[in-house]
Amino acid sequence: MRRILTGRLLILAAVLVTLQYGLAPFFTGRPDFLYLLVLDSAFFLSWERVPFLAAGIGLLRDLLGGHLFGIQTFSFSVTGTLLSLSLQKLERENALVRAGITLLFVALTEALSFGLGAWLEEGRFLARTFAQSVFWTTFYTALVGPAFFWFTSRWFKRISFFKQQYELF
């Protein structure tokens, strides 16, 4: 049985948080590396543990972010659970499927957290800002995704992304 948290995963998460919040003042649209961390574990490690990791990443974002506490945790928990349920049936080996899932996961999580923030925090909802935020974050995250997945395959020393099954006959 694999653990959810390992030393390499914690080091990678610390580096990604530093990149995520260190690049924020310089770019209006930027990739969100914490989404990619959740997606990497969903695609290549274990889809069963994705809701727990997603909730943990959401809690981390709540502790570091400027939103009302609990919005990110709720958003990541809901979309992490949906991601886990969908990956049970989908082909994870195809790069196009991974790109589509990345687009959907990031867009849904961004829309849910932005919508909850606008609903619970008065005066924060502007339709133009909402569409731009969701679009650019989704676009840049999906653009950086393949390079991130390649890097993590080297970092976690995965020889191949998926285990191959051979017939003995």
pLDDT band at 1 (very low <50, low <70, confident <90, very high): very low
Full-model pTM: 0.79
Lowest mean pLDDT among 143-147, 159-163, 165-169: 159-163
Host H or E run for residue 60:
helix 50-64
Angle between helices 95-120 and 71-87 (to 10 degrees): 150
Domain ranges of the chain: 7-155
**Protein fold of 7-155:** Arp2/3 complex 21 kDa subunit ARPC3 (1.10.1760)
Cβ-defined contacts of 3-8 (< 8 Å, 24+): 4/49, 4/52, 4/53, 4/56, 8/155, 8/156
Question: Is the torsion defined by CA of 19, 22, 28, 34 positive or negative?
Answer: positive
What mean pLDDT value characterizes the chain? 79
